[in-house]
Amino acid sequence: MRAKSDDQPGSVKSVEVAVQILDALTDATGPVRVTDLARDLDMTKARVSRHLQTLSMLGLVDKAPTGSGYVFGRKLMKYGRAAVYRSNIVEVAHPFLRRLRDVTGHTAVQTLPTREGSLVVAAMPNEFEPGVAIQLGTLLAFPKSPSARLGRYFEGGRFDFGRLEENLARFGMDYEVDVHGNGLGGIAAPIFEADGSLASTIGLVLSTTLVDPEPSPELVEHVSRAAAQVQARYAEGATSPRMPAVSAA
């Protein structure tokens, strides 16, 4: 008997169902039960169970420790880490982040938005700037981090964003005088997907004194130029409907 090729409808449909299951696990806040998956995907429990067994054998899902549902598997977590740190937006931003560090003399940082804040996916410290070391995988927490504030704002989150909107209108970016109470401040500018959602932020981590009471025009210009260059390479012309027009002043 001739085996089905991967491009036959049955195989494609199986892949679609697998992706739908993984999407459901992504959107969930905890383990997902077969019953819930079957209801949400409008499928029988038997069909969902078959797909879960296949995904489990491939290491893409695991049964939750409590046995009450399914969670991401270890292999999928491995893929996820690789995707975060070697994604297209990270690759695109890399040379511009390095140039931003070189022209300013400060640590350049790139983050991706998460539910909890903003995840550092690239950091280029200046070897001559002591005390500024940002580790990959650091989660910058909302609301102190300007990159985390940008993430929450462009996702439509609820918060008093008056100061952030003022900074966006004046500079096209946000900043914080003292992010963690350690004498370090931050500047972050948004990079958008083609659909206007927030893809990433790039900016600087530097001494509090350099952003108090606000960053210098030179720093704003350097970060703005780097963000515009990344945006042009990643999704030229994309912006968010929530992005205020930047003042010429």
**Which residue, 91, 95, 107, 131, is CA-closest to 219?**
107
Residues 79, 55: contact at Cβ < 8 Å?
no
Which one of 39, 61, 80 terminates a domain?
80
CATH of the domain at 59: 1.10.10.10
Q: Give the pair of three-digit tokens for residue 198.
A: 């927030």
- Per-residue pLDDT, averaged over 25-51, amounts to 90
pLDDT digits 0-9 by tens, 46-88: 999 999 999 998 888 999 887 789 998 888 777 766 666 667 8
Is residue 2 over pLDDT 70? no
Share of residues in the chain with pLDDT > 70 (%): 90
Q: For position 229, what pLDDT does the model report?
A: 97
Q: Give the pair of three-digit tokens for residue 239.
A: 């912006």
**Tokens 């509090």 sit at which residue?**
208
Domain that holds residue 28: 9-80
The rounded distance, in Å, linking the Cα atoms of 198 and 230 is: 13
Is residue 249 over pLDDT 80? no
pLDDT band at 245 (very low <50, low <70, confident <90, very high): confident
Domain count, the chain: 2
Residues 191, 201: contact at Cβ < 8 Å?
yes
pLDDT band at 129 (very low <50, low <70, confident <90, very high): low
Which one of 80, 96, 125 terminates a domain?
80
The angle at the Cα of 51, spanning 47 to 57, to the nearest 5 degrees, equals 145
> Which residues lie closer than 8 Å to 244 by C-beta, 6 or more apart?
165, 168, 169
The answer to whether position 231 is within a domain reads yes
Q: Give the pair of three-digit tokens for residue 157.
A: 């989150």
Query: Are 152 and 90 in a shared domain?
Result: yes
Is residue 4 over pLDDT 80? no
Residue type, 48: V
- Per-residue pLDDT, averaged over 158-169, amounts to 91
Q: For position 7, what pLDDT does the model report?
A: 43
Is residue 173 over pLDDT 50? yes
The answer to whether position 245 is within a domain reads no
Which one of 80, 103, 126 terminates a domain?
80
Query: Are 171 and 113 in a shared domain?
Result: yes
CATH of the domain at 128: 3.30.450.40
The answer to whether position 61 is within a domain reads yes
**Which residue, 118, 117, 116, 134, is CA-closest to 126?**
134
The rounded distance, in Å, linking the Cα atoms of 35 and 48 is: 9
Q: For position 5, what pLDDT does the model report?
A: 41
The rounded distance, in Å, linking the Cα atoms of 92 and 71 is: 31
Query: Are 104 and 214 in a shared domain?
Result: yes
On the question of a cis peptide bond just before residue 213, with omega within 30 degrees of 0, the verdict is yes
pLDDT digits 0-9 by tens, 77-116: 777 666 666 678 999 999 999 999 999 999 999 999 988 8
Q: Give the pair of three-digit tokens for residue 129.
A: 């700037």
The answer to whether position 176 is within a domain reads yes
Query: Are 44 and 130 in a shared domain?
Result: no
The rounded distance, in Å, linking the Cα atoms of 40 and 35 is: 9
The answer to whether position 16 is within a domain reads yes
Q: For position 9, what pLDDT does the model report?
A: 53
Query: Are 66 and 90 in a shared domain?
Result: no
Is residue 3 over pLDDT 50? no
Q: For position 81, what pLDDT does the model report?
A: 67
Query: Are 192 and 149 in a shared domain?
Result: yes
Q: For position 48, what pLDDT does the model report?
A: 92
The dihedral sign for the CA sequence 153, 159, 163, 169 = positive
Please give the backbone phi and psi of residue 216, each rounded to the nearest 5 degrees, phi first: -70, 160
3-class secondary-structure state, position 184? strand
Query: Are 95 and 214 in a shared domain?
Result: yes
> Which residues lie closer than 8 Å to 44 by C-beta, 6 or more apart?
38
Is residue 166 over pLDDT 50? yes
Most confident stretch, 2-16, 87-101, 124-138, 171-185: 87-101
Query: Are 141 and 50 in a shared domain?
Result: no
